């Protein structure tokens, strides 16, 4: 590794071989390792991401706050040093929903149950703000640092061809938010279903109070891309609430450069 592990992190890993996990599009690095029969993940983010939701110390705090509220990974250790933040978590049981996408009823039920559980987390006393204004400030920081996603495609919305145009549009389009606890990146790779059909949530760096349509928008987009637009529309119908396409579009556009 091109950096020095903090002593508390190195002691826990204790020389175990690290295997790079390349799932996901985050700038964070993830490495899997085992101790005995237990599997763990080392996740690290560069210090430049400390003010953002890519910060693994922020994610560690979110996971610790959610302990007992949702099934989330156990935080084993976290530390900062050598220009990075580090976190070790214990692997959750089960398989990711991405491996079950062919089973449409199961997938729809899982996303619906995930929303129910997330939005049942009490908002009183939640210390994590992931509202649109906070995420827009984060986006402006990333643009200023030259850290927007490598795969950002200005052709996605041709009338918003530059980061500055998209950010200005987003500032002018912020909805009146109906705040709930939000995962922030709800997709089939971040939901696990165990043998007892219990849901486990991973990658909660963006977790916090946000409009309840943020998670709905991401689940809808995931189903449209991985199954079909019809499957995505069926998911919305099964929620039993009127669709709000403009809200969904806002959160998809907000996510475009992350």
* Extended beta strands in the chain, E state: 19-20, 29-35, 38-46, 75-81, 84-90, 95-96, 179-182, 191-193, 199-201, 208-211
Question: For 95-255, which CATH superfamily applies?
Answer: Aminoglycoside phosphotransferase (APH), C-terminal lobe (3.90.1200.10)
Which residues partner with 201 through β-bridges? 191
Q: Where are the domains of the chain?
A: 7-90, 95-255
Does residue 163 have a pLDDT over 70?
yes
Structure confidence at residue 82 (pLDDT): 87
CA distance 115 to 119: 6
Q: Which of 189, 87, 82, 178 is nearest to 131 (CA)?
A: 178
Q: What is the pTM of this model?
A: 0.95
- Is residue 38 among the annotated active site residues? no
With cut-offs at 50, 70 and 90, classify the pLDDT of residue 1. Answer: low
Q: What is the pLDDT of residues 104-155, one digit of tens each?
A: 788 999 999 999 999 999 999 999 999 999 999 999 999 999 998 877 888 8
Query: Which comes out higher in pLDDT, residue 65 or 25?
Result: 65
Does residue 191 have a pLDDT over 80?
yes
> Catalytic residue among 14, 151, 159, 185, which?
185
**Is 7-90 CATH 3.90.230.10?**
no
């Amino acid at each position: 590794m091109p950096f020095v592990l903090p002593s508390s992190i190195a002691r826990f890993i204790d020389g175990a071989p690290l295997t790079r996990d390349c799932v996901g599009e985050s700038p964070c690095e993830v490495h899997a390792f085992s101790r005995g029969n237990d599997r763990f993940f080392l996740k690290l983010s560069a210090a430049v991401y400390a003010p953002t939701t890519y910060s693994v110390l922020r994610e560690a705090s979110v996971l610790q706050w959610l302990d007992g509220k949702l099934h989330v990974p156990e935080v084993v250790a976290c530390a900062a040093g050598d220009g990075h933040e580090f976190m070790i978590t214990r692997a959750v049981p089960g398989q990711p929903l991405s491996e079950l996408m062919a089973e449409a009823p199961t997938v729809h039920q899982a996303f619906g149950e995930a929303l129910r559980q997330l939005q049942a987390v009490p908002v009183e006393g939640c210390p994590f703000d992931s509202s649109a204004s906070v995420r827009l400030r984060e986006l402006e920081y990333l643009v200023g640092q030259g850290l927007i996603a490598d795969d950002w495609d200005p052709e996605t919305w041709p009338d918003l061809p530059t980061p500055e145009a998209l950010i200005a549009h987003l500032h002018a389009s912020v909805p009146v938010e109906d705040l709930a606890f939000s995962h922030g990146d709800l997709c089939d790779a971040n939901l696990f279903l165990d043998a007892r059909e219990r849901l486990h949530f991973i990658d909660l760096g963006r977790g916090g109070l946000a409009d309840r349509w943020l998670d709905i928008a991401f689940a809808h987009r995931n189903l449209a891309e991985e199954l079909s637009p019809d499957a995505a529309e069926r998911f919305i119908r099964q929620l039993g609430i009127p669709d709000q396409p403009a809200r969904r579009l806002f959160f998809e556009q907000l996510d475009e450069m992350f």
